[in-house]
Structure 1
Amino acid sequence: MQEKSTSFSIKNWSDADKPREKLVQKGRSVLSDAELIAILIGSGSRNESAVELSKRILASVHNNLNELGKLSPKQLMKFKGIGEAKAVTIAAALEMGRRRRGESVLEISKITSSKDAFEILSPIIGELEHEEFWILYLNNANKVLHISQLSKGGLTGTLVDVRIVMKKALELGAVALILSHNHPSGTLKPSNADKEVTLKLQSAAIALDLKVLDHIIVTQKDYYSFADEGLL
């Protein structure tokens, strides 16, 4: 006689094991990452609970949510028990978290250190798999007036349109700039192109009585500051 299949849907778990009920009764912070993902996917496979499946997915990215956020729906669908709907739900939830972090750091009204700039820029470019160049425009109190993307792709001096940068600064009434770009490779060492772009924008800014306060190289977990290293 064939053994009856066991359902691993969350609704069939004991109350003590249900992450949804746990969240309602005890709050969000007590749930593990795997339990939160289990709520998103709702059920596992015939031989694996949603939490066990979630733990396996997390283990594949060394339990790093930032790395999990980089997985595409197609990559998530390679896990048995994850179909397109579940994969899209996970990807959407992680993207919402990334955007929420980005909005919260924009509440930093004044830049007092390179770390403040990094906290603003990290959610924007820290996890990208390609290079982007961004500029923070500041007023005379070092408060952020505007954040603008300058270029996308490889960083070379030819991609920097100085006129656009300075025109924007004058329109905003900015008095200072913080330059930034990301290194998807994870290396924090500035390249010759990085240094050339910095000098190019710094020279143009001086001519208009503006200041380039820093150039921040951003990686997923860390940053390099030209100002802190005495390169400005």
Structure 2
Amino acid sequence: MQETYTKRMRLKQWAEQDRPREKLLLNGRRLLSDAELIAILIGSGSKEETAVELSKRILSDVENNLSDLARLTLADLCNYKGIGEAKAIAIIAALELGRRRKENASVLKPQIESSEDAYQVLQSVYADLSHEEFWILLLNTNNRVIAKELISKGGSGVVAVDAKGVFQAVLQAKATGLILSHNHPSGSLRPSMADKQLTKKIVEGGKLLDVRVLDHLIISDEGYYSFLDHGDI
């Protein structure tokens, strides 16, 4: 009995208009699917599946949600056969560029008039993080943002912050106002005792330097908690 089989076609055997790179050249980037764009990033798949098929499988595992894809770690991506460190880094780098593009599209030097304004400025720096970070907004006398500064990185449940580092950034930027912030990857928006003590310490230090500490935001995927709005500052 003659054995029959179907041999999987590699991308080079596809019709030219069906290859992601050629499709982009012929039709423009907007006509490519998310899987085809990722396939261009990784270049090749494995013996079992093409780059497009591999990309579709990865997207399927995150329910075709690019935000969830951005939360995958290097190790997560490398678990897929056909994705090595270099390909995983290319995917992570591309998604980070997309995040930064969105961030840079915002209005330059926004003015902070409420906790919601501060949240909108800070939200993007905490996107997709699985660990805690502590950022500050440095403001001028009109409460316009001079800069955003990363003060400290921590683990999944805690971040250590040195008040000296906060005020060093304030003095270097010649800022007159300050908004503190950190994230809770767990999703909880309740401030800890350590959060309250740190806030009090920085507020008191700001008074000595004539620096206004306007607020402290705790940010998670669920939203934010404002110390000012809750009368904690």
Counting only pairs closer than 5 Å after superposition, residues 140-155 of structure 1 correspond to structure 2 as 140-153=141-154, 155=158
130-139 vs 66-75, which moves further: 66-75
- Aligned partner of residue 81 in structure 1, secondary structure: coil
How big is the shift at 1:84? Answer: 4.1
How big is the shift at 1:178? Answer: 0.7
Counting only pairs closer than 5 Å after superposition, residues 1-232 of structure 1 correspond to structure 2 as 3=5, 5-9=7-11, 11-105=12-106, 108-112=108-112, 113-153=114-154, 155=158, 159-220=160-221, 222-232=223-233
Kindly provide the amino acid, as one letter, of the partner of residue 125 in structure 1: Y
C-alpha distance after superposition, 1:175-196 (max 9, x if no partner): 2101011112122222222222
* Residues 168, 84 of structure 1: alpha-carbon distance in 2 compared, 3 angstrom cutoff: closer
Distance 1:2 1:21 in 2: 32
Is contact 2:134-2:183 (8 Å) kept? yes
178-187 vs 108-117, which moves further: 108-117
Kindly provide the amino acid, as one letter, of the partner of residue 69 in structure 2: L
C-alpha distance after superposition, 1:126-184 (max 9, x if no partner): 3332222121110012222232233332657xx44334433543443322101011112
Kindly provide the amino acid, as one letter, of the partner of residue 223 in structure 1: Y
Kindly provide the amino acid, as one letter, of the partner of residue 210 in structure 1: V
TM-score norm. by structure 2 comes to: 0.78
* Residues 22, 116 of structure 1: alpha-carbon distance in 2 compared, 3 angstrom cutoff: farther
* Residues 108, 220 of structure 1: alpha-carbon distance in 2 compared, 3 angstrom cutoff: farther
Structure 1 unaligned spans of 5+: none
Is contact 2:149-2:169 (8 Å) kept? no
- Spell out structure 1 runs of 4+ moving beyond 6 A: none
* Residues 54, 164 of structure 1: alpha-carbon distance in 2 compared, 3 angstrom cutoff: closer
Query: How many residue pairs were aligned?
Result: 228
Distance 2:207 2:38 in 1: 51
Distance 1:25 1:138 in 2: 48
Distance 1:70 1:110 in 2: 28
Distance 1:24 1:176 in 2: 49
* Residues 188, 32 of structure 1: alpha-carbon distance in 2 compared, 3 angstrom cutoff: farther
110-119 vs 194-203, which moves further: 110-119
Structure 2 unaligned spans of 5+: none
Distance 2:225 2:52 in 1: 38
* Residues 22, 188 of structure 1: alpha-carbon distance in 2 compared, 3 angstrom cutoff: farther
Distance 2:28 2:230 in 1: 43
CA RMSD in angstroms, aligned pairs only: 3.0
132-141 vs 190-199, which moves further: 190-199
* Residues 84, 162 of structure 1: alpha-carbon distance in 2 compared, 3 angstrom cutoff: closer
Kindly provide the amino acid, as one letter, of the partner of residue 9 in structure 2: S
Distance 1:193 1:199 in 2: 10
Is contact 1:137-1:145 (8 Å) kept? yes
Distance 2:24 2:109 in 1: 33
